[in-house]
Structure 1
């Protein structure tokens, strides 16, 4: 009888140890800086629970209450609270069926200037489906390649995917990376392809970081010039600048060209740089949260 009781005690103890181990592993995953969510035949997304739910200051209610045509935010993981602020504002009164997500091709993956992903995305909030019809139309451009591996490995897209899934669970996505080598003429031609897939239920989101490798004071000067370009749709100025202003001249050109055609008004809901998040002002990346109304 005593032996049976001992066996029962050991079984219970073993189960508790096993459960504690599973819980510890789960907590380790959740609290790691970046967690990649992936299942078979799904693209992975990048997710940090701490960063995702860290609050940033609330933007103007007057701005966020408008139906948006799109906007621009960062893809810097350190500035995740800014990404959250952007999508939280966008989701107040905007209910897209499709989100065209445009970012720079950081690692030059793929063989063409524009790389799209056509598979669904795995996120902690569920599966985010691609807009296959729109992707198929864009693939008619000779500038485009479908390459899920290239797109899914770039944080310009992967970091923003969970926000799309969380704030727009019913929407589909058209994620693309644009190489730095795409020139102004190619960009102008490709934006015409994007324009064909835009309707009243589609928004355009730019995943773009701004001034790089400067001090915070120097960065503010560059950002002032960039702000002039964006707010006044100075398309002819975009390709004159490099990383000291922004990391995707092609992406910025496409977004501003599309918004200009829609007579959109630009509103700034946040402007910051890495010094706000890490306290170091000698070598920063800057950020804007812009929305187009």
Structure 2
């Protein structure tokens, strides 16, 4: 089975040339980094990213910060992408092991060897499953940015329906192990932050949450999210990837209000580098 794009023409342009132009505009947007990335030839040196996954017209300039930084540090052989499940379909932890994923910029192959290794290490928690991925956008929207930067890489897509802290830490242990075995990985957590409140409220809530994540205070992060109703949709993927690295540097943290102008009903976005 080849995974066809489901949000092209909605979250990003469905024509290849238009999509390249759209991505370039994300880098040059006033909220973006201001220049196109320069891609390193360095293969080894696994790093992580936290990247938003909304439509490019809203979150693209923030996502551009993450990819701009990553491109200067390494050229990965495989990208592991961990995203949340917005559809409710599939298993608790779904890893796509079928054939390639397609976007308007071409196809990306699956790293079957690494995917099977991750499944084997999970003791039945992570399973091969396509249903969780069929209509889910959180991984798909990362691919055109990656294709814009890199011409030769594979992916391992993982969707988390079960985002409990204990599950996220289990996934983190696996990511740490594969990172020790492979030095040519880029590991991405795909998540937006607080939803549908004003720019000021969202920034206040998100700043508190991001501060806890920097300090690795995960239990507090989950508690604060519940108590203050911070509606970050991918807290599980964020913790799973964050805990796999020592340091976390925030590259951009704002809301859709700063990007598209509506500051009354916003979504929070942040981009971070993990090393």
More helix by percentage: 1
Find the counterpart in structure 1 of residue 177 from structure 2.
196
Find the counterpart in structure 2 of residue 5 from structure 1.
none
Q: Which runs of 4+ in 1 moved over 3 A?
A: 64-68
**TM-score, normalised via structure 2 length:** 0.80
1:272 to 2:254 alignment:
yes
**TM-score, normalised via structure 1 length:** 0.76
Task: Provide the rounded CA distance (Å) in 2 between the counterparts of 1:134 and 1:122.
Answer: 20
1:163 to 2:145 alignment:
yes
Residue 236 of structure 1 and its aligned partner are, at CA, apart by: 2.4
Find the counterpart in structure 2 of residue 255 from structure 1.
241
Find the counterpart in structure 1 of residue 128 from structure 2.
146
Residue 248 of structure 1 and its aligned partner are, at CA, apart by: 1.8
Task: Provide the rounded CA distance (Å) in 1 between the counterparts of 2:253 and 2:108.
Answer: 29
1:73-100 Cα offsets, whole Å, 9 max, x none, are: 1101132232233212211221111111
Asked whether the 8 Å contact 1:59–1:85 carries over to 2, the reply is no
Asked whether the 8 Å contact 2:46–2:185 carries over to 1, the reply is no
Task: Provide the rounded CA distance (Å) in 2 between the counterparts of 1:53 and 1:149.
Answer: 32
1:184-226 Cα offsets, whole Å, 9 max, x none, are: 2233223222323222211211111011122111111112212
Find the counterpart in structure 2 of residue 291 from structure 1.
273
Task: Provide the rounded CA distance (Å) in 2 between the counterparts of 1:274 and 1:184.
Answer: 27
Find the counterpart in structure 2 of residue 16 from structure 1.
none
Find the counterpart in structure 2 of residue 58 from structure 1.
33
Asked whether the 8 Å contact 1:59–1:269 carries over to 2, the reply is no
Gaps (5+ residues) in structure 2?
A: 14-18
| Larger Rg, first or second structure (1 or 2) | 1
Task: Provide the rounded CA distance (Å) in 2 between the counterparts of 1:171 and 1:113.
Answer: 27
Q: 2:82 aligns with which of 92, 102, 109?
A: 102
Find the counterpart in structure 1 of residue 72 from structure 2.
92
Q: Taking CA–CA contacts closer than 8 Å with sequence separation of 6 or more, which of the two structures ends up with the larger relative contact order?
A: 2
Q: 2:168 aligns with which of 180, 183, 187?
A: 187
Partner SS for 1:159: helix
Gaps (5+ residues) in structure 1?
A: 1-40
